Amino acid sequence: MAPKKPAPTPPNAVYQLKIALRGIRPPIWRRVLVGDTITLHQLHRVFQAAMGWEDTRLHRFTINSELYGEPSTEGFYRVKDERKSTLGEVAPDGKTKFRYEYDLSDEWDHEVEVEALLPVTPGQALPVCVTGKRACPPEGVGGPWGYAALLEAMKNPRHPERVRFARLVESYKPEAFDLAAANKRLATFH
């Protein structure tokens, strides 16, 4: 019989966070509610699910000039261990902005704003995405610059990148944001 997974620590407060991709116009963003006891590693997974990323690339947080992430066993990547810090510890007073980077080679840079600290509602399922705008960029498209080229190629049949993005030109819907799908991915955290 497998050992029981410990129950998550109940939150003392709910953080309302807005996650917005920097360097993208029109903006792509999500608003999520999470408990203050969530670790930064868990928060990374929440951001992945809410945004629609595939969680196949490296990531890191920059909060109050400190880097947090998955420590490198080789020592190349000096960060504080994200599994050992909670959101409530690194942003205790709310009204904070910090940075979340995903895919360090493509440089998907997210600005995260703590919009509000809310009281805990008994029985409230956390985390939850409450709203958002526009579809997450496709993985491996080449960062904000490649994404801009994809959008141009979708508008212009003679665009030089049209061949490279042929599959995406047919299937990607940049204006689509599916709140129900985001929350279905987040439901695995409950």
CATH code at position 54: 3.10.290.30
For 16-35, give the DSSP string. Answer: EEEEEETT-SS--EEEEEEE
Query: What SS3 class is residue 71?
Result: coil
- Examine the pLDDT at 99 and tell me if it is beyond 70: yes
- Examine the pLDDT at 77 and tell me if it is beyond 90: no
pLDDT of residue 158: 92
pLDDT digits (tens, 9 = 90+) for 149-164: 999 999 999 999 889 8
Q: Which domain holds residue 164?
A: 136-174
Q: What is the pTM of this model?
A: 0.91
- Nearest one of 90, 129, 91, 122 to 10, comparing CA atoms: 122
Within a domain: 7? no
Distance CA 31, CA 112 (A): 10
Residues 110 and 123 in one domain: yes
Torsion from C-alpha of 69, 75, 77, 82, nearest 10 degrees = 10
Residues 92 and 150 in one domain: no
Within a domain: 149? yes
Within a domain: 2? no
Number of domains in the chain: 2
Residues 22 and 109 in one domain: yes
Torsion from C-alpha of 30, 35, 37, 42, nearest 10 degrees = -40
Confidence category of residue 3, pLDDT binned at 50, 70, 90: low
Residues 90 and 118 in one domain: yes
pLDDT digits (tens, 9 = 90+) for 107-145: 999 999 999 999 999 889 999 999 999 999 999 899 999
Residues 126 and 99 in one domain: yes
- Examine the pLDDT at 15 and tell me if it is beyond 90: yes
Residues 128 and 148 in one domain: no
Residues 90 and 61 in one domain: yes
Residues 114 and 182 in one domain: yes
Name 62's bridge partners: 67, 99
pLDDT of residue 71: 82
Residues 75 and 128 in one domain: yes
